[in-house]
Amino acid sequence: MIQSIELKTEPLWIRCQPCTALLNFPLHCLKCKQEFRVNVVQLKMLRSKEPKE
């Protein structure tokens, strides 16, 4: 007898040094299907003002 297994996916956070930054990082919204560029510095996220490459 085969049983179905429900897999639960939870967000996975990457732990890094406090000084690590993501600059002009692509972020895709699954709800509105748009892509934005963001800057993340010390866990604070701001939308990038630089145009997409």
Query: What pTM was computed for the model?
Result: 0.53
Share of the chain above pLDDT 70, in %: 57
Maximum mean pLDDT: which of 13-17, 43-47, 48-52: 43-47
* pLDDT, tens only, 17-35: 666 788 888 888 889 888 8
Task: Give the per-residue pLDDT at 3.
Answer: 61
Task: Give the per-residue pLDDT at 8.
Answer: 61
Residues 6+ apart with CB under 8 A from 41: 21, 22
Task: Give the per-residue pLDDT at 24.
Answer: 87
Distance CA 31, CA 33 (A): 6
Domain boundary assignment for the chain: 22-53
